[in-house]
Structure 1
Amino acid sequence: MTNQADATQGRRRPTAGADTPRGHEVEVLISNLLRIGVATSLVVVVLGTVLSFVHHPDYLTSPKELERLTSPGAAFPRTLGEVIAGLRDLQGRAVTVVGLLMLVATPVLRVAVSILAFIHQRDRMFVLITTTVLVLLLLAFALGKVEG
């Protein structure tokens, strides 16, 4: 279906929205994407936490060491290179950071999938709006910086 004027009735025909079978499929796809993204990131964060405690069992017995891990100045990887190096060494902190990045990326991916759905539905206005949202999200990530 398109969002063009119906010549015989003088009305606009609706686009494929949530009330159509295809619209429902898109909603289910996006819902599953969000669920899977959040669940996967949770598993990765838990795995990173477990790895941290396996590599540093003193976190379980020494409150001072645990406080060092959880303090705001804790040495978590802050750059992509540090994350990759930490993953190679199976560092729990690096794995936890990957899980958190996956959690942040999940709604961004949802916006990207929405753009594809709107392109498929030929809804140019929502393609433009959603693309603008995605560009602003990516720009915010690119311009953001870590305080420390």
Structure 2
Amino acid sequence: MPKDSKAKEMHQVEMMIGYILRIGVVVSAIVIVIGIIMMLVQGTGGYPNGVQPTGFRSIFNGVMALKPYAVMMFGLFLLILTPTLRVAVSIYAFAVERDRLYVWITTIVLIILIVASVIGYLGH
């Protein structure tokens, strides 16, 4: 691959990573604001005092039932997911550069993020 086309592709990957981060933050902020507005309109979070959704399934069910607190939690979930997605795209970027060391390091980081998320989810 010629250097110029490789540099162009790397620039496109970097731009995609930037878009992912921006879009992830904006979408999560919009979802959180929608949850806040729903809470103000409904006058409640949708759950009794001391009860809140803690797992993905309960958050998803709460979003489907239009419970404001669940909508806000879903927005936070999207915010947490954004940098994880960025790490996944970085693996592709390093593969394009043919930088095997960083592909392996970034893959290990992604695995650690996924395992930590699963442990956190199961440990709630």
Matched, 1:96 2:72: yes
Counterpart selection for 1:39 from 18, 23, 26 = 26
- 1:29 corresponds in structure 2 to 16
Report which structure shows greater RCO (CA 8 Å, sep ≥6).
2
Aligned pairs (5 A) from 1:81-120:
81-120=57-96
User: For structure 1, which runs of at least 5 residues remain unmatched after alignment?
Assistant: 3-12, 60-68
Q: Give aligned pairs, total.
A: 118
- 1:50 corresponds in structure 2 to 37
Q: TM-score, normalised by structure 2?
A: 0.84
Q: TM-score, normalised by structure 1?
A: 0.71
Counterpart selection for 1:126 from 92, 102, 116 = 102
CA separation of 1:40 and 1:27: change in aligned 2, threshold 3 A: same
What is the percent sequence identity of the aligned residues?
A: 39
Instruction: Please identify the structure whose Cα radius of gyration is greater.
Output: 1
Asked if the contact 2:25/2:79 (under 8 Å) is kept, the reply is: yes
Deviation at 1:27, TM superposition (A): 1.2
Looking at structure 2, the residues matched to 126 and 55 of structure 1 have their Cα atoms a distance apart, in angstroms, of: 49
CA RMSD of aligned residues (A): 2.3
Counterpart residue identity of residue 16, structure 2: L
